[in-house]
Structure formats: structure tokens, C-alpha cells
């Protein structure tokens, strides 16, 4: 049987190029690039890029893979988070997603909010397989503990990281910030004008698509993910498809009470499907970081309770 999983790739030794940027007595900071393993890539986007921070004085360190959200500026909160994680002995890999300006072809940068269905799908394929290749690489890194891998994602990065965790059992825990499932519902109910203008459908079409998606989810539950071909390819890049696969592994959702992008219904859909803990802060999607100290505190508590640190 041919697998429907779009995030498979040929097995081969990971080739990661590390360039040391800075080091001190506590950590080493590298820029990293490596070949994208996805079957499809954006033209000119064959190389993945990221930054890696490794504790100097600790071998067998846990690894946190950090995935930013929509817009290049969304990397900033994770860069601020790195120092605290390093102090707790956690190595950090910040992956620049295929949607980041560092990796996007010039022809796509000017229409980032109007990507085609094919471009969305390819971008997800690239991003999820990038995460999986990082996991491949860390298993060969003698400084890291391959039994303690966590993904921390923000918004779009949370979508990517939850899918990666769903398809890759080597990822042991996940933290998803301003996150939800059921992309059709998110696009239909979102209050962000650009997304609604580009992706919203008629009520009739929306209802039909939702019925098709729920039918698909039920079939996956009864027959297994690899045994069901979806009516629509976009079902394969929806976090809700993979949420049940996270059950039994530590997961935490951090959501905004007044999120104008991720409706509460979509957030609760994902929470109920994966059985994870969920915390909400009184904020909008973008202003969630006004609670930065409390978010970091909750993340640290979660990592301790999950035996990551």
C-alpha cells in the first residue's frame, strides 16, 4: 500500500553544516543549514536554515526545537527564550520556516498572505520534514539526549510542530502557543481581514467541506491514518488530523482569550482531540506576549513536570 503520509522522505545520513558564531563558558551558538528532504520544495528553497544553541557544560542535553509564527518578527520571542532554556541545560534549535524571508523565493515574498493551495501544501511538507531531519541529526549528536525532544511552536509554527509531533514518535513533548485545529474553521471564522478575503468560502461550501473533513477524521479513527485517502489534500496539513496521535505524550496549549485569528472553537477542537492541558491569557493573537514572564513560567513548569528539565 502506498502511504498517504506527505511527510515521508528517503532515509539517508543527515548532512548539517554548522558555523560557529559565538561561544562563552556556558554555551555555543551556531548558524546551521542542511538540505531539505521533502519531495517538493519551493524553487530556490532547497536549503533549510536555523540557529543552534548548545550548552557547553552538559552532555546528554534535552533539545527544544523552536518554530516561529507568521512574519519574520515572530522569531524574536523565541530568541529571548533561548537564554533561560540554556541555563536549565536545554539545547535549542530555532528553525526558520520555509515561509520566512530567509528562505522564501523573491517572487513569493510580496504575496505571502495570498499563497496558492499548492504553495501552502509544499511549505508544510518542507517544514515538517525539516523538523524530522533535525531529529535525525540530533540522534547522531553526542551532546544531546534523543529521548528528550520537545517542540515549541507559535501560531503557524504550532501548526507545523503539532503535525511533526503527530507523525514522529521520537518527539516526546509539545508546547503550542496560540494554536488550534480544523483549518477550514479557522479560515472561515477568523476576524483577520486578509485571510477572510483570500480563503473564506460561501456558507454552503464551508458546511460541505466541514462534513467531508469530519467524515475523514472518523475514518482515520476507525481505519488508521495510512489507510484513508482524504477527499481534499489540505486535510493532510491540518493539525486536527494529527491531534489524536499526541495522546499519551505531554502537550500544553497556550491560547489567547480574544484571539482574532484562531477562534476558540478551533482551539477547543484540538484540545479535546489530543487530550492536552490548555491555558488561556486575556489577550489577542498578537498581544499574547504581553504575558511573556507568565508564559515562560508556565513553560518551565511544564518542562519540569514532563521530566524534560
pLDDT less than 50: residues of the chain: 1
pLDDT in tens, 106-156: 888 888 778 888 999 999 999 999 999 999 999 888 889 888 999 999 999
**Cell numbers linked to 176:** 503550542
pLDDT in tens, 54-81: 998 778 899 999 999 998 999 999 999 9
**Cell numbers linked to 194:** 486578509
Residue spans of the domains in the chain: they are: 17-305
CA neighbor of 239 nearest in space, from 212, 201, 266, 219: 266
Q: How far apart are CA 278 and CA 298, in angstroms?
A: 11
**Sign (positive or negative) of CA dihedral 285, 290, 294, 297:** positive
Q: How far apart are CA 207 and CA 205, in angstroms?
A: 5
Lateral strand order in the sheet of 277-281: 17-23, 27-35, 47-55, 91-96, 61-67, 144-154, 173-177, 251-256, 277-281
Widest pairwise Cα distance in the chain: 61
Q: What is the three-class DSSP state of 107?
A: helix
Q: Which CATH architecture describes the domain 17-305?
A: 3-Layer(aba) Sandwich (3.40)
- Can you give the pTM of this predicted structure? 0.95
Amino acid at each position: 500500500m502506498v502511504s498517504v503520509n506527505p511527510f515521508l522522505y528517503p532515509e539517508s545520513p543527515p548532512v548539517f553544516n554548522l558555523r560557529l558564531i559565538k561561544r562563552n563558558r556556558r554555551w555555543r551558538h551556531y548558524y546551521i543549514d542542511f538540505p531539505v528532504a521533502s519531495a517538493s520544495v519551493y524553487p530556490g528553497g532547497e536549503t533549510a536554515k536555523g540557529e543552534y544553541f548548545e550548552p557547553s557544560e552538559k552532555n546528554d542535553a534535552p533539545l527544544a526545537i523552536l518554530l516561529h509564527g507568521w512574519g519574520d518578527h515572530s522569531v524574536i520571542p523565541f530568541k529571548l527564550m533561548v537564554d533561560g532554556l540554556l541555563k536549565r541545560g536545554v539545547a535549542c534549535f530555532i528553525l526558520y520556516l520555509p515561509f520566512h524571508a530567509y528562505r522564501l523565493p523573491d517572487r513569493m515574498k510580496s504575496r505571502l498572505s495570498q499563497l496558492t493551495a499548492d504553495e501552502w501544501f509544499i511549505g508544510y511538507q518542507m517544514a515538517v520534514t525539516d523538523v524530522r531531519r533535525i531529529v535525525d541529526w540530533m540522534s547522531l549528536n553526542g551532546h544531546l539526549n534523543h529521548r528528550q525532544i520537545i517542540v515549541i511552536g507559535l501560531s503557524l509554527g504550532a501548526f507545523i510542530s503539532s503535525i511533526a509531533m503527530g507523525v514522529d514518535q521520537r518527539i516526546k513533548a509539545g508546547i503550542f502557543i496560540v494554536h488550534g485545529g480544523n483549518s477550514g474553521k479557522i479560515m472561515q471564522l477568523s476576524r483577520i481581514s486578509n485571510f477572510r478575503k483570500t480563503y473564506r468560502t460561501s456558507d454552503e461550501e464551508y458546511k460541505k467541506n466541514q462534513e467531508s473533513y469530519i467524515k475523514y477524521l472518523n475514518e482515520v479513527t476507525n481505519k488508521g491514518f495510512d489507510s484513508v485517502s482524504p477527499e481534499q489534500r489540505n486535510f493532510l496539513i491540518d493539525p486536527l488530523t494529527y491531534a489524536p496521535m499526541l495522546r499519551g505524550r505531554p502537550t500544553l496549549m497556550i491560547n489567547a482569550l480574544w484571539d482574532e485569528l484562531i477562534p476558540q472553537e478551533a482551539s477547543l477542537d484540538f484540545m479535546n482531540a489530543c487530550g492536552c492541558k490548555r491555558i488561556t491569557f486575556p489577550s489577542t493573537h498578537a498581544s499574547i506576549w504581553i504575558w511573556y514572564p507568565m508564559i515562560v513560567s508556565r513553560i518551565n513548569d511544564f518542562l519540569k513536570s514532563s521530566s524534560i528539565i
